[in-house]
Structures are given as structure tokens and as C-alpha cells.
Amino acid sequence: MQQAPPQHTLLAVSTILTPGERMRVDAAGEGSYRAIHRDGVAELVRDLKTKRASAVLLSVARCDGPMQPGICAMVREFPRIATVALVSQAAPDATRAALSLGTSGITQLVDVREPTGWHELRRLLVESRGGEIQREALTQLAIDLAGAEPECWRFFEALFTAPPRVATVRALSFELGVLPSTLMSRFFRTGLPAPKRYLATARLIRAARLFENPGFSIANVANHLDYSSPQSFGRHVRTLLGITAGDFRDRFDGAGMLRHFLETLVRPYLPELRRLRPIGAAAVSPPAARLQ
């Protein structure tokens, strides 16, 4: 099956910067991220809720004084969103302003007055894209699936690295370069739950991590994960867990949902998973090599 080349979508970063910083941030982000320049905190929050942006960049030179209460509220409502403070020029009150952002809950500050600062800024923003919970999942799976076939690892890796639009077994099969019927039959013959269940539960791990941001509503999370509607997300939760979307939000965080995934779909089936060869493609690197 011919696989289309992957499309690289740049990370969208919502910013509040000085005019001079905007130009430099745009230049530094070429090929790494796309900046959406705003003038107020309300615009940043709207970008986060509507999935226009996945990270925030704030200038120390602009975000003190009257803006600080709004920034405090934003960081409190979206604690899992990467928010970075930027220092680009010497100013008498720069230290005080940086401390005020720290008081707001921002823990990442980059000084770009040194050339290495721009590299550090790109690193922080691009690393935020990968998703902390996805990295946690792959780290744990690399331990649990030690000794499994490389193809088995590739399947689980795809569950947590594919974009949210990969929401069906058909789409996942396309990512893996295998026919959907082949993928499903190999799980069935090995005595494993259907691949659809693995995919659906992995999506809920991402949802549970997003819900750790109190500023996200059920509709916001459904939008972020490319569900057709909040009702569709609710049906998805009820089918898998037998609870409402609201109950899901109250009962599971990202770590709890990852633990549920491992305890119900991975650890009870380790002998079967270690002999699973779901793809029939050329061998890929084993887990330890892929996670380095």
C-alpha cells in the first residue's frame, strides 16, 4: 500500500511582543513554529480554546502592570500549555517584570540577548508540541513491551505520535502503510482486543491531559481532538468507559487514563503483544533506539 508523504504542520504560537520582537521571533521560527501576534490576554485565551495556537510567548517588556492579572488567570486556567517569557533587551525594570511573570506561574524564561537564546526558544516551543503525556506513554510502553516485535512497537508509537485527525482504524492503517482488514485480522488472530479499542483509548489519554487545563470546556477538548462535536466525544467516552464526559473529566487525569490503558489493554496481553506482527512491513528500530 503506497503511503503519502507526511505533511509537516508548524506549531502555532500565540504571542504578546514588542514590534521589534515580532520581527525577530518570526525570523527565528522559520521552519519550526508560526507566530500569531496578539495585543491582549483575551486574544491568547481565545486562540488556545479554538485550537489556533498550542503555546504562548510573552515579552517581559509588555506583560507587566495592568496585564499581569489576566496573565495569572490564563496560566492558572491552562497549566499544561507551554507559556514562555522572552527577554530581548536591557531595561531598568526588566528584572522586576520578569519576577512578576514568575509570580504569575510562568516557569520558562528565555534571554535572547545572547545568540544561544534563540536556539533555546525554538527548543522549548518545539518540544512542547510533542505532548508530555504522549512521551510518558511511549516511555512506559518501551518498558512494558520489551522483547516485542518492532512492528508491534511501531503500532503503539503511531497511537501516540499520529495527529488527532487519525481517529479511525482506516486512517491509522494508512499511517502505518497496511490495509485495515490486515491490521484487524492480525489482532484477532493473536487473541488481542481490536485495534479500534487501542486507538480510541489512546485518544482519551490525550483528552484527559487536556482536561487538566480548567480553561478547556468539553467542547474545546472535542475540537482539539477533531471529534465531530461535543456529543460525539460524549458518546465515545460512554461507549468505552460507561460514564459521561463530565464524569470522565472529574475522574481521570492524563496519568490516570494512561494507567487505565496499560492495565486494561497492555499488561494483561503481554505474551500476545510480544508475538504480534500487525504490519508486515520492513523492520523498524526497537523501542530503546526510538526513544533516545
Asked if residue 175 and residue 58 are part of one domain, the reply reads no
Asked if residue 168 and residue 54 are part of one domain, the reply reads no
Residue 281: what pLDDT? 47
Residue 194: what pLDDT? 96
Q: Is 15 in a helix, a strand, or coil?
A: strand
In contact, 110 and 85? CB cutoff 8 Å: yes
For residues 249 and 253, give the distance between their C-alpha atoms in angstroms, rounded to a whole number.
7
Number of separate domains in the chain: 2
Contacts of 7 (CB under 8 A, 6+ apart): none
Residue 291: what pLDDT? 38
Domain annotation covers residue 6? no
For residues 184 and 2, give the distance between their C-alpha atoms in angstroms, rounded to a whole number.
19
Residue 244: what pLDDT? 96
Residue 279: what pLDDT? 85
How far apart are the two ends of the chain, measured CA to CA in Å? Answer: 29
62 exposure class (CB count in 10 Å sphere: 0-12, 13-18, 19+): middle
Exposed e or buried b for every residue in 140-177, given b needs 16+ CB within 10 A? ebbeebeebbbbbbbbbbbbbbbeeebbebeebbbbbe
User: Across the chain, which distance is largest between two alpha carbons, in Å?
Assistant: 69
| Host domain of residue 248 | 132-290
Domain boundary residue, one of 68, 100, 129: 129
Block residue for cell numbers 496578539: 38
Asked if residue 159 and residue 124 are part of one domain, the reply reads no
Asked if residue 138 and residue 125 are part of one domain, the reply reads no
Asked if residue 224 and residue 123 are part of one domain, the reply reads no
- Averaged pLDDT score across all residues of the chain: 85
Asked if residue 146 and residue 125 are part of one domain, the reply reads no
* pLDDT tens, residue by residue, 191-241: 999 999 999 999 999 999 999 888 999 999 998 888 999 999 999 999 999
Residue 217: what pLDDT? 92
H or E element at residue 150: helix 150-161
Block residue for cell numbers 485495515: 180
Q: Which residues of the chain have pLDDT under 50?
A: 1-8, 281-292
Domain annotation covers residue 2? no
Domain annotation covers residue 3? no
